[in-house]
Amino acid sequence: MGLIVLIGCQSTPQPNIEATVQAAIAAALPRETALPEIDAEATVAVRVRRTVEAISAQKLANTPTVTVTATPVPTTTSLPTPTLTPVPTPTSSPLPKATLTPTPTSTPRPTATPTLSKVIAEIKPAVVQIISDAGTGSGFVFSEDGWVVTNAHVVGNSMDVAVMIDGRTPIEGRVVGLDEEVDLAVIRLEGFEGLKILTFGDSDAVSEGEDVVAIGFPLGDILGSTATVTKGVVSSRRYTGSVEYLQTDAAINPGNSGGPLINTSGEVVGINTSRIDVALGRQVLGIGLAISSNTVQKLLPDLMNGRFVRVSGEAAPEKSFATGPDQESDFRYVSDRHWYSVDVAEGWRISSSNPDRVLIWEPVTESVILIAADIIDPEKFSSIKSYVARWEPGPAPSWTDFRVLNDGPIRSRLPVPAHEYLTRHRNDGERWQGRVHWFVLGNYLISLEAIAEKRLWDEEADQWSQMHQIQDSFDPSVFTDDDSLFSISHPPEWKKGPGESTEYVATQSSGTGILWVEVRSGSTKANVEEYGDSVELTDPKLRVLSRGKVFERRPNPGYRIDYEGSVEDGGAVRGALLLTLSGDAAIWLTVQSELSDWADLEPTVERILSRFAVAP
């Protein structure tokens, strides 16, 4: 497939919505991602975990303050008591021989139907919170002798996890079985019997539009150890291979994973697994996915017998804590999900089983660097400058004397700038110091927080120097040109190739996707809209589908042209061209594929375009 040459540079694209949603759903479902392993002493790992839990619980102080309000549970309404129907008092008949009438009986009293709030109150004690190396999640007890089911991504690589039942002190649970392909895991609580349990319902009997309730521990580090309830309906059924999912608009947030999706009778009809956040480059709401109860029930016996399925084909792990790659020498970690990379120094360890919360730490000093990814609204926060105008770091609940010592912009001359905060606080009587870097990357805020006891910053120059080096090695892009004019991000598996007349070329490893960047000088147009309107397709086999200004709130807005047509070999293609100005230079980014592959590739295309950055 040849490159389409557009020379000389009209409204919003008309995408195939159903295909795009299907592609976005497929992207949110479990996929083959090799999970790293952690080799740390248990005592150190526990202390590190406490530190990172505190960091994860750290709130962002909004101006004005944002208050998190729990979803109210409907007030129970008692049913009216029916009035007994009067029955005549039996009397003797005036006939010679009196005959008694049958003894009167009261009108039967109808059985009260439990309200939804009562059903929820009865089943909530069976919903548990799970704490592992991957973070916090949810699960539920399904057997009186201590069996718990959850998602595989909730337990990560841990074989021992902490389980909190009804908000009580965490107890130890052992991961007995796991299937990463389906995203299920079972945990055994030894020595616990007579627990409150949930029963499975028939997911085949669930109808679209039927009311359901999701129960779990969303934002567990912030909202605490009390289960919350969200209500919605079953929107549709989705399938990936032999796995059936129920789509629901009940709110499913980070921490809900592994919790039950309940029908109005209190039966489990699904296990909450994931949600769709972005489609067509825009935030979407109301698309959550739960593994159907019938799929779960088919797999439970094998999982309870010790079945382990790793997407990498590895056998069951032997260690309790996950570690990253071999730490005997330096290496560079690359995020498959967020398309960034960072150095990991010799002697430091990494846990990346949760791609939204990558933890790098030094096991001797317990110094920690947490790389966190949180979704934001790109329409409101189109740049790091707009984000820090409203948000700043705040303390975790257990911290005292928290202060921001200093802050300011960094990397200002690069296409992707950042903002730095220096912080200090006390925790358990000890003084701690932090260095925080924030990046806005498309739909995500990426935060790199380095934190250690203050004495290390004061006395251990080598230690804080390593922390700085790791933070400063962070690269938010896959490629930045030599003149720091533009930065581009794309899936790491895409292969970089030579470009004869282009600045950069990359091709999809298993598909027909291709992208290339051209820098054209001599632009005399006053703005990108005027420049974009002047661009025309010179190949008569191509036709414009839509065109117009995009990313208008960015320091450097863009102009997008979507097109389709055929190439020299006769194949049908679809593509998108993004134009951006920098001084007197025009930067052209084109992403293209065969027409038949576009629907599957389109969510990736939207991310590539949203992450493309051009220096002012």
Three-class secondary structure assignment of 382-444: CCHHHHHCCEEECCCCCCEEEEEEEEEEECCCCCCCEEEEEEEEEECCEEEEEEEEEEEECCE
Q: What is the DSSP string of 191-203?
A: T--S-----B--G
Instruction: Name the active-site residue from 179, 183, 221, 343.
Output: 183
Q: What Å distances lie between residue 229 and 37, 72, 226, 262, 266, CA to CA?
A: 34, 8, 10, 10, 13
Residues 453 and 220: their CA atoms lie apart, in Å, by 25
Residues 182 and 294: their CA atoms lie apart, in Å, by 13
Residues 452 and 459: their CA atoms lie apart, in Å, by 12
Angle between helix axes 598-611 and 17-28 (nearest 10 degrees) is 70
Residues 540 and 576: their CA atoms lie apart, in Å, by 17
Instruction: Name the active-site residue from 257, 352, 367, 477.
Output: 257
Residues 223 and 271: their CA atoms lie apart, in Å, by 21
153 is catalytic: yes
For residue 32, what is the enclosing H or E element? none
Instruction: Name the active-site residue from 132, 138, 153, 343.
Output: 153
Sheet of 418-427, strands arranged across: 349-351, 357-362, 367-375, 444-453, 430-441, 418-427, 400-410
What burial letters (b/e) apply to 568-579, b meaning 16+ CB within 10 Å? eeeeebbbbbbb
Whether omega for the bond prior to residue 397 falls within 30 degrees of 0, making it cis, is no
Largest CA distance in the chain: 124
For residue 357, what is the enclosing H or E element? strand 357-362
What burial letters (b/e) apply to 469-482, b meaning 16+ CB within 10 Å? ebbeebbbbbebbe
Tokens representing 458 are: 């004061």
Neighbours of 376 (CB within 10 A): 18
183 is catalytic: yes
Residues 49 and 45: their CA atoms lie apart, in Å, by 6
117 is catalytic: no
Q: What is the DSSP string of 291-331?
A: EEHHHHHHHHHHHHTT-EE-TT-------SSBB-S-TTS-E
Active site residues: 153, 183, 257
